[in-house]
Amino acid sequence: MATSASSIVDLSGATYCVLTGASQGIGRAIAVELSKYLGPKSLMLLLARNKVELAKTAELCKSPNIKIVYESMDLSKASGPEMFDVIKRSTEGYKVSDFATTVIFHNVGSLGNLSVETERMEDVEEMRQYYDLNVFNVIKLNTQFLKVFEEIEDRVVIVNVTSLCAIKPMSGMASYCSGKAAREMYFKVLAEEKKHMRVLNYSPGPVETSMIDYVLAETVNANLRDVFMSFKSQGALLKPEITAKKCLKVLQQGKFSPGGHVDYFDDE
């Protein structure tokens, strides 16, 4: 769903960025793409659990303009104060007001248990754990980010990595679709209330990452398996680098309305 233009996101000044799910896949690709544009005295905080892979992402992002910090954090379990501390700590030695722009990429995501048919879902604890990582803690992290950057609220940019599944049902993915829908709507409401913040829901298209292999390995839904098998066999999966470029292009051209859902395939 393409949307009308808002103001551009200028990354050429001192920019603070936090990116979740930065250890692989789309998150790593966004980090690398982002690092090409950040101006002098920028700072990047990369979060995920796998520290070895985070270090690799940090290496790929190396630039004289950017200080890169990475921290292993289980975002399904981290408390609000832990999230606040990790962001606050990363800004040590900087004055928050010196950042011209501050961006958070909520890229973390998981698929949940694909081995239970939708009509047989009843394990609420499992559903809760899914929502903890994919919805509740995304909101919680966003709140900590906004607390740290309260004094420069008008320079805040929020990117939620969403999915077509947030707006279109996909068989066999009830947790994923409902989680993405809830997460996207939270950001839409925030954008409605905070007109001076720039909030983008970016849907990356079908991308060749471990998520695709997970679907094929785990799903009990024949339709879902067929869809993903045909993506693979027809070579229809995007490379993470390609969708990351598009995400940065959308941001830098400001081609999104507040809380707008922009898909990779819009305007392609």
Ligand X SMILES: NC(=O)c1ccc[n+]([C@@H]2O[C@H](COP(=O)([O-])OP(=O)(O)OC[C@H]3O[C@@H](n4cnc5c(N)ncnc54)[C@H](OP(=O)(O)O)[C@@H]3O)[C@@H](O)[C@H]2O)c1
Question: Shortest distance, CB of residue 1 to ligand X, whole angstroms?
Answer: 15
Identified binder of ligand X from the candidate list 204, 258, 259, 260, rule CB under 6 A: 204
Q: Contact region for ligand X (CB under 6 A) — 15-23, 36-44, 186-194, 247-255?
A: 15-23
Give per-residue burial for 133-171: e unless 16+ CB within 10 Å, then b: bbbbbbebbbebbbebbeebeebbbbbbbbbbbbbeebb
According to CB under 6 A, which residues from 16 to 75 bind ligand X?
21-27, 48-50, 53, 74-75
Is residue 140 within the footprint of ligand X (CB under 6 A)?
A: no
Give the residue with the Cβ less far from ligand X, 5 or 229: 229
Q: For residue 243, give both structure tokens.
A: 């969708």
Identified binder of ligand X from the candidate list 63, 76, 129, 252, rule CB under 6 A: 76
Q: Are 214 and 185 in contact (CB under 8 A)?
A: no
Question: Shortest distance, CB of residue 34 to ligand X, whole angstroms?
Answer: 15
Q: Contact region for ligand X (CB under 6 A) — 146-154, 207-215, 219-227, 247-255?
A: 207-215
Instruction: Work out the angle at residue 264's Cα, subtended by the Cα atoms of residues 198 and 207, and round it to the nearest 5 degrees.
Output: 120
Question: Shortest distance, CB of residue 267 to ligand X, whole angstroms?
Answer: 18
Question: Shortest distance, CB of residue 54 to ligand X, whole angstroms?
Answer: 7
Question: Shortest distance, CB of residue 198 to ligand X, whole angstroms?
Answer: 19
Give the residue with the Cβ less far from ligand X, 14 or 161: 161
Question: Shortest distance, CB of residue 105 to ligand X, whole angstroms?
Answer: 10
Question: Shortest distance, CB of residue 26 to ligand X, whole angstroms?
Answer: 4
Identified binder of ligand X from the candidate list 79, 210, 223, 253, rule CB under 6 A: 210
Is residue 141 within the footprint of ligand X (CB under 6 A)?
A: no
Is residue 260 within the footprint of ligand X (CB under 6 A)?
A: no
Is residue 113 within the footprint of ligand X (CB under 6 A)?
A: no
Give the residue with the Cβ less far from ligand X, 24 or 221: 24
Torsion, CA 185, CA 190, CA 196, CA 198, rounded to 10: -40
In DSSP terms, which residues pair with 161 in a beta bridge? 202
Residue 173 has φ and ψ, to the nearest 5°, of -130, 50
Is residue 178 within the footprint of ligand X (CB under 6 A)?
A: no
Give the residue with the Cβ less far from ligand X, 109 or 258: 109
Residue type for 260, please?
G
Cα 162 from chain centroid (whole Å): 7
Binding residues for ligand X (CB under 6 A) = 21-27, 48-50, 53, 74-76, 107-110, 133, 161, 163, 204, 206-207, 209-212
